[in-house]
Amino acid sequence: MIDTAMQNKKIHQGRNIKRFREMLGIKQEALAFELGDDWNQKKVSLLEQKEIVESDVLVQVAQILKVPAEAIENFDEEQAINIISNTASFDNCQQPAFFNNQPTFNPLDKMVELYERMLKQQQEMIDKLEKLIKTNKKTG
């Protein structure tokens, strides 16, 4: 059962953008570059401080980070930790025979899949930056 304080807790979308960006190893400057000419590191920093992010910006950031916009809108770290810790404690107690505590997927496979996706995205970002550097050297 989720306690009512958690249900009333606001999800901080800007902080979630920062979490996902950092998990993917992307710097604020790189995100600003991907967002376009009117973006810079300072503007990304301010975005990450906003509790609610404009939906068009949120969708654009989600596309760049290659995560669902809903993940940024709904991710609550405290709730996720609570669910994980409550689920983990189920292993220490007796359960009725009809209670199925087995996930329908392998969590380790999901973590490996996420890690591989993060590595691929990081490599794509490096390739884009290298291309930008080469372009700047030719024009400069």
Residues 82-126 have pLDDT tens digits of: 655 555 444 444 444 444 455 565 667 777 778 788 888 888 888
Residues 28-69 have pLDDT tens digits of: 999 999 999 999 999 999 999 999 999 999 999 999 998 888
How many Cβ atoms are within 10 Å of 65's Cβ, its own excluded? 21
Nearest to 7 by CA among 85, 68, 82: 82
Please tell me the predicted confidence (pLDDT) of residue 18: 93
Q: How far is CA 96 from its chain centroid?
A: 36
Q: Which residue has the higher pLDDT, 106 or 2?
A: 106
> Within 13 Å, how many C-alpha atoms sit on residue 38's CB side?
1
Q: Please give the Cα distance from 105 to 109 (Å, whole number).
A: 8
Q: Give the CA angle between residues 38, 139, 43 to the nearest 5°.
A: 15
Q: Please give the Cα distance from 130 to 128 (Å, whole number).
A: 5
CB of 120 within 8 A of CB of 44? Answer: no
SS3 sequence of 78-117: HHHHHHHHHHHHHHHCCCCCCCCCCCCCCHHHHHHHHHHH
